[in-house]
Structure 1
């Protein structure tokens, strides 16, 4: 089955370039130049991933991202023309899984799309050949890896694929510190991490907000300053 990808960018040349490279990889692409048209399509069609430009004529990409996250958990990649941390942090905080700064290398864009789709497909399979350890239970947290569902004190946690991946890795490594760099490489499967990259930090912050956790008195995710993150074996 061909993955269906939504592309929303009012710059026709950029949209056409993204469409060309994704179609060359065998993906089905639905391209729109406005948020209004994209929303009309989203409401009645299934998708596997969305690429959203931040600067759109009728609605900014952050708002569009928010509207998608109200109903869907497929990966969202933001496109920003500004190399500013505030844009990246805003997008990730609102539920985006990754960001790409314009101008970008098309092959890097394709690599990021593939990484997001691999994880999304892996955690959304309706069945799995490996039935061992498909449910992780820890201090009120219940994570079902096979169904991609997570409960906290019997209440559903609405996690993005990236948030689910981070929490799973930390739970599977209970008692051990996992560095931001290791989390990054295990999730994205590539090498575009650098020391100034705060992607993992923002996702951890968003996870804590959803779990009603804090940095100063963590119930679940503990920051080991200068090293990484860990979940204690017992709380």
Structure 2
């Protein structure tokens, strides 16, 4: 069973989420503040994190950033703040999805399942992964992606990434020169049952450029195709 860490201090919402997810077959552990949430990463070892942005001891985005630095499991923000700027900031510090309160429990479950499916893609059991798929290397920029370990090295340096960032760079690198529309990238990250807007895609691309480009303002590898989307150039 999948393990969900809920960091939520509101008793009514917290209990509702716990009851619902338990009934749906999840193992759930609830923390009332950020300090407990950080400690539970090691003790509980969640497969996914549900994080409220308003907590008594942490600014939500600060805590999201701290969690992301310690784990690459999917993080879904739950917040009563529906401002686009707040969502963009959450994606920037490592969130993979954003749910605005009040929300449907069925929608929450659907988004959890979409992220878990993509995060925990099963490797073929009958045979080990083909060597060409285990690691993708771009000699021109000394970029190496290990698909099995979900790691990225740029010019010999290990790069920290969110789940969404890894999925994006893997997709782009595996299909160089192919132009992806923003709609294609949204579907690749979320599927058709979960929500992410075009602005969030732009934020992820900006973050990736900062991490892999020598000069992010003049990118050589992740190119913008104006009016269409993005492509990766070797």
Give the TM-score of the pair, scaled to structure 1.
Answer: 0.89
Decide whether the 8 Å contact of 1:5 with 1:49 is kept in 2: yes
Q: Which residue of 2 aligns with 1:82?
A: 81
Structure 1 residues 48-104: Cα deviation after superposition (integer angstroms, max 9, x where no partner):
111101111221221211211222111111112111011111111111111111111
DSSP-derived class of the 2:44 partner: coil
Match of 2:58 in 1: 59
Q: CA deviation at 1:45?
A: 3.3
Task: Measure, in 1, the Cα distance between the counterparts of 2:223 and 2:4.
Answer: 36
In 1, Cα distance between equivalents of 2:108 and 2:44 = 24
Query: 2:134 maps to which residue?
Result: 134
Aligned residue-pair number = 230
C-alpha deviation, 1:36, in angstroms: 2.3
Shift of 1:25: 2.5
CA contact (8 A) 1:80 1:87 kept: no
Match of 2:17 in 1: 18
Q: How does 1:37-48 map to 2 (within 5 A)?
A: 37-48=36-47
Cα offsets for 1:18-48 (capped at 9, x unmatched):
2223223311100122222222322433121
Cα separation, 1, equivalents of 2:194 and 2:46: 26
In 2, are the aligned partners of 1:144 and 1:150 still within 8 Å (CA)?
yes
Structure whose residues are more often helix by fraction:
2
Counterpart position of 2:200 = 199
**In structure 1, what is the Cα distance between the partners aligned to 2:214 and 2:231?**
13
Q: 166, 169, 172: which is aligned to 2:171?
A: 169
Q: Name 2:224's counterpart in structure 1.
A: 223
Alpha-carbon distance in 2 for matches of 1:8, 1:94: 17
Residue of structure 2 equivalent to 1:185: 187
CA distance in 1, matches of 2:84, 2:117: 26
Which residue number in structure 2 is paired with residue 3 of structure 1?
2
For structure 2, the residue ranges without an aligned partner over 5 or more in a row are: none
5+ long unaligned stretches in structure 1: none
Give TM-score scaled by structure 2 length: 0.90
